[in-house]
Structure 1
């Protein structure tokens, strides 16, 4: 999952970026509202973590512009503004969740997972497909009850495919969700991860539609 983090505090932004990446998210971090608005215009993100007190363009303006453009990705407001009026205004403007700093990183990651489930119309925390089970919170995959060791990137790719089971995802869609601006994947990196998943989970799990993309059948 690719997250846009909008936070002007360098220490907090760096800590959140490192922590969320360790939790398996691809994170792009910008430090002002204007940069956030440009990023949302140029690229697609699965979720936005948005501060409100930003230089150049306020967080509420960023949120209002995104919703006015019809961008419906989940937005989690993370701010020091703790007044009830601010919370009501943020949620009514289109935020999906509102957290007041300081925040525990584990709670933030859990809320991100919950928002992702809701945006996908899925209530269950686990992803299952036949004998395969993926637990996003514990970062564990089992097959027929036995644990399967996956790299962080393999886990993220499998989660993305399971979340979109029945849909064909193009190479561009997969890479955009898996890699941030600082990541420069090799030209065949995606194919290598697909190969490793098939080797560990069975060659029949992930289908290739040549010239189109990859899918896991429902």
Structure 2
């Protein structure tokens, strides 16, 4: 049986940057790790699925820099920066430190695996047929310039007694090639029959000269 590894974690330091950047001694490491988890959880809870693609964190002294990669910048910023300022205040109360927030927009969300996975999960929650939506997602990513796409949905699909796995794939996904730009996303769809897991792999070519 093949051993699985996270496609992004496998490429950290090669084609992918670190999602959290900080230094900690052994006595502080667990606290900072937990704080990062709490920040990411709080931010994702504030917005609906498909809005937040990625959250990068940097700790420097008493300041935490939070960089959000979003599909709809206006929705995250809010009218007169109200939504962003409220979120910053909430995170400062949570962490007890100064929080600086940077918001960057994802240009091609069809090629962003996390956004695609969350959009697919949201569609499944609205009772859209998983197989039909998976086919639509694959076609959309290929039309946007992807060289390969793979989508899987697993769980009690359509209320079946036994859980099963649906898979849709087109093009190639070279998971063992380190310089391959492969984006990976995971989301959960909460249905009346239980949780369905959604995974998306998108291959956009090889990165040379790393």
Same fold (TM over 0.5): no
Query: Which has the larger strand fraction?
Result: 2
Query: Which has the larger helix fraction?
Result: 1
TM-score category of the 2 structures, normalised to the smaller one: under 0.3
Task: Pick 1 or 2: higher relative contact order, CA cutoff 8 A, min separation 6.
Answer: 2
| TM-score, normalised relative to structure 2 | 0.26
